[in-house]
């Protein structure tokens, strides 16, 4: 049979023909797409015509479209529904793609054409967007080694290829540890858990083919288990398994991989003329320098640690009150925090979850997007890669804007965490190409026939990822390279974290937070308590996050550490890390930083963006209407539709008129003197 990945896809909206694709089809399709891309690059660089924006930059934008189409389908599968064949293909493709990238960057004829355009740009009569694309293209080539030659160029290509291999190995080791570990629960242990936790454990056991309920390393199972399990020994076993991912010895141990990655990144930065990898990485971000990042993180660290230490003192007393000698441990924190939250705010997580159905929260998120931006989501049967995936068409005033896929439940074939990706991005150069966007989460899957109930944190995750999706859907640019979320790393989280605020709008909760059995709305007193408790535990959450961001920065701001675990320990000691709190992502499972270099030296980005998202939502609060149509229009026009076509700081200044300070963030987290 013909390879379904090759030729035209006749599926609705150009979706990948998932139902017809065999894993073996990807190897042939990628090889052919790479060959076509190389031929296109050769044609551009070897042209006898004088370089123009159209025959060089625009041609380059289109050169590897077939490759992007095939890889969009493949990586959707590889991340969310992996198997040994797909994992092997990821390992095979990573060095191939790194090699192709290095070849393009090292193509001196191609770079010469780009340089000619750059030097004569004032006479080319380019639009602002074209000027931006030209600048970004040239900068990308320079940062990829285009100015290198001889042995330095050869070594740079070798380093990039090896880093691609190591990032893939890191990610697959982590997935292997997460997929293989589970802890069986005896009937008496299950009986002591709230029904929603017990149900999730039973569903996980069914999904894994176990003989009864189990705890897995899915965050949506293990965190509630740590909150509610009264058996301290079971909590310890689960917590230590969670935090030792990637550090269990043997073939899946990531510690040596992390050390080699850091060494190679430092070497790469120095080959390109930078003192450190942090200097290289942050050059293109809003923060610009390690010093500005560290200043922000430390400004937040001090009040967060003080808040966490106050909480630790309370939990230590509760531990002693239960007759347990010794200090509070990390596997105790969630348990006593939940008990304290229930007392301090009279909140019952099981009661809260009974009002937070996945289907109703999707309605809430879609309704908020409609009220803000006029979008309509219609669930439709479309090709998808797994039976759990749901599909929607997205329109505005009858015009098709996007296809949206939602993949919400944890399974053994899916890597942990939550993410948004585009199988296809918006652009206009090759026609009016509309995006195909995927949100992937790891919510606990209910037993057959039962509704999916979420924690409030899960609900935030749902809104967060849809915020990323809106950034893709509302993109309105010509060139794919600057489309949607193709922006500075410390700006990309602004739309996602901003959209989280609409979950806490009382009228949104009032309409959509309804009891899964009675359909009664969440009582006002429960809603008030929930919102009042929104900053509960923010000291802990901020400490575990900032500690990870500071360790990431320390890894890359200076010589690469020979022993990353020792460096991690030194950083945590220097900042006074509370003993009963761990980093959110310890080095061996810090996929943000080591599974690729997207967030390397840039994990701080979530907090940098939070400074802005708190300030942007404050604009809606200032006018007294979270759905103010004029502000929503400006938010789309000034930020969401622009992608990377304008410098991120300029976009923010267009909307808000000034850059914010950290006070709005501290206030929003309940960590400032004015928070009350």
Question: Cα(465)–Cα(348) distance, rounded to whole angstroms?
Answer: 26
Q: Which two tokens stand for residue 48?
A: 């006898």
Model confidence band, residue 663 (pLDDT cutoffs 50, 70, 90): confident
**What is the structure's pLDDT at 673?**
56
Torsions phi, psi for 357 (to 5 deg) = -80, 140
Q: Please tell me the predicted confidence (pLDDT) of residue 489.
A: 93
pTM: 0.90
Go through the domains of the chain in sequence order and give each one's CATH number. Answer: 12-147 (1.20.1050.40), 181-244 (no CATH)
Long-range contacts of 553-556 (CB under 8 A, 24+ apart): 553/278, 553/290, 553/293, 553/294, 553/297, 553/601, 553/603, 553/604, 555/262, 555/593, 555/601, 556/262, 556/265, 556/266, 556/276, 556/277, 556/278, 556/281, 556/290, 556/600, 556/601
How many Cα atoms within 13 Å fall on the side-chain side of residue 184? 6
Residue range 366-386, pLDDT digits in tens: 999 999 999 999 999 999 999
Question: What confidence category does residue 546 fall into, taking pLDDT thresholds of 50, 70 and 90?
Answer: very high
Q: How confident is the model at residue 676 (pLDDT cuts 50, 70, 90)?
A: very low
Is residue 440 left, alpha or beta, with left meaning phi > 0 and alpha meaning psi from -120 to 50? beta
Mean pLDDT over all residues of the chain?
95
- Inform me whether the pLDDT recorded for 36 exceeds 50: yes
Task: Decide the pairing of beta strands 183-184 and 214-215.
Answer: antiparallel
- Taking alpha carbons only, the member of 504, 501, 489, 502 closest to residue 608 is 489
| Rounded CA separation 305/301 (Å) | 6
Cα–Cα distances (Å) from 247 to 220, 238, 551, 595, in that order, read 22, 15, 17, 15
Catalytic pick among 61, 299, 349, 465: 465
Is residue 61 part of the annotated active site? The answer reads no
| The pLDDT of residue 171 | 95
Closest CA to 79 of 162, 178, 152: 178
Mean pLDDT value of segment 89-115: 95
> Residue with structure tokens 């200090």?
327
Sheet bearing 376-379, strands edge to edge? 376-379, 390-396, 399-409, 436-443, 419-424
Residue-wise pLDDT for 603-640, tens only, equals 999 999 999 999 999 999 999 999 999 999 999 999 99
How large is the average pLDDT for residues 431-452?
94
Beta-bridge partner residues of 215: 183
| Arithmetic mean of pLDDT, 659-663 | 88
Left (φ > 0), alpha (ψ -120 to 50) or beta: where does 35 sit? alpha
Q: How many residues does the chain have?
A: 676
The pLDDT value given to residue 350: 86
Q: Could you tell me the two tokens for 379?
A: 């669930």
Strands 399-409 and 436-443: parallel
Average pLDDT over residues 419-439: 97
**What secondary structure does DSSP assign to 280-316, as a single string?**
HHHTTSSS-SHHHHHHHHHHHHHHHHHHHHHHHHHHH
């Amino acid at each position: 049979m013909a390879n379904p990945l090759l030729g035209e896809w006749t599926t609705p909206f150009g979706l990948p023909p998932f139902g017809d694709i065999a894993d073996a089809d990807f190897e042939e399709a990628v090889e052919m797409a790479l060959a076509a891309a190389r031929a296109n690059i050769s044609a551009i660089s070897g042209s006898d015509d004088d370089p123009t924006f159209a025959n060089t930059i625009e041609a380059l934008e289109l050169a590897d479209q077939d490759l992007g189409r095939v890889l969009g389908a493949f990586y959707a599968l590889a991340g969310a529904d992996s198997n040994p064949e797909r994992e092997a293909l990821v390992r095979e493709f990573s060095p191939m793609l790194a090699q192709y990238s290095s070849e393009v960057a090292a193509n001196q004829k191609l770079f010469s054409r780009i340089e000619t355009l750059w030097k004569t740009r004032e006479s080319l009569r380019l639009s602002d967007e074209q000027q931006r694309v030209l600048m970004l293209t040239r900068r990308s080539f320079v940062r990829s080694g285009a100015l290198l030659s001889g042995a330095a160029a050869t070594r740079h290509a070798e380093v990039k290829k090896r880093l691609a291999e190591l990032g893939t190995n890191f990610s697959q080791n982590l997935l292997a540890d997460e997929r293989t570990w589970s802890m069986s629960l005896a009937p008496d242990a299950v009986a002591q858990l709230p029904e929603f936790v017990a149900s999730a454990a039973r569903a996980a056991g069914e999904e894994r083919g176990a003989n009864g309920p189990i705890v897995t390393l899915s965050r949506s199972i293990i965190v509630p288990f740590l909150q509610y399990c009264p058996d301290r020994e079971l909590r310890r076993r689960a917590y230590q398994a969670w935090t030792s991912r990637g550090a269990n010895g043997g073939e899946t141990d990531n510690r040596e991989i992390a050390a080699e990655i850091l060494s190679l990144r430092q070497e790469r930065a120095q080959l390109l003329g930078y003192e450190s990898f942090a200097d290289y990485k942050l050059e293109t971000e809003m923060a610009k320098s390690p010093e500005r990042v560290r200043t922000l993180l430390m400004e937040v660290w001090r009040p967060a640690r003080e808040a966490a230490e106050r909480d630790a003192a309370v939990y230590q007393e509760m531990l002693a009150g239960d007759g347990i000698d010794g200090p509070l441990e990390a596997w105790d924190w969630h348990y006593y925090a939940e008990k304290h939250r229930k007392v301090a705010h009279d909140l019952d997580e099981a009661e809260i979850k009974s009002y937070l159905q996945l289907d109703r929260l999707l309605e809430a998120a879609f309704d908020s997007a409609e009220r803000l931006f006029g979008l309509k989501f219609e669930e439709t049967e479309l090709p998808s890669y797994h039976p759990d995936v749901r599909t929607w068409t997205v329109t505005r005033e009858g015009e098709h804007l996007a296809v949206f896929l939602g993949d919400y439940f944890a399974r053994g074939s899916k890597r942990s965490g939550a993410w948004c990706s585009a199988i296809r991005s918006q652009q206009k150069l090759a026609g009016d190409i509309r995006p195909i966007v995927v949100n992937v989460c790891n919510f606990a899957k209910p037993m057959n026939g039962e509704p999916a109930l979420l924690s409030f944190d899960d609900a935030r995750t749902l809104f967060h990822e849809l915020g990323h999706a809106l950034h893709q859907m509302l993109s309105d640019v010509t060139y794919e390279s600057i489309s949607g979320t193709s922006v500075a790393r410390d700006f990309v989280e602004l739309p996602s974290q901003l959209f989280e605020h609409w979950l806490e709008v009382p009228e949104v909760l009032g309409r959509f937070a309804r009891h899964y059995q009675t359909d009664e709305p969440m009582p006002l007193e429960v809603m008030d308590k929930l919102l009042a408790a929104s900053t509960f535990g923010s000291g802990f959450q901020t400490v575990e996050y900032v500690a990870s961001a500071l360790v990431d920065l320390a890894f890359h701001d200076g010589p690469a550490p020979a022993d990353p675990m020792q460096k991690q320990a030194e950083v945590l000691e220097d900042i006074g890390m509370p003993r009963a709190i761990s980093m959110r992502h310890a080095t061996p499972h810090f996929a943000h930083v080591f599974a690729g270099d997207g967030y390397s030296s840039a994990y701080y980005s979530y907090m940098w963006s939070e400074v802005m998202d708190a300030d942007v939502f404050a604009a809606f609060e200032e006018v007294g209407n979270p759905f103010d149509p004029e502000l929503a229009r400006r938010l789309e026009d000034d930020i969401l539709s622009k992608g990377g076509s304008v410098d991120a700081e300029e976009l923010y200044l267009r909307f808000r008129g000034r850059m914010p300070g950290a006070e709005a963030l501290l206030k929003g987290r309940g960590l400032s003197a004015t928070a009350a």
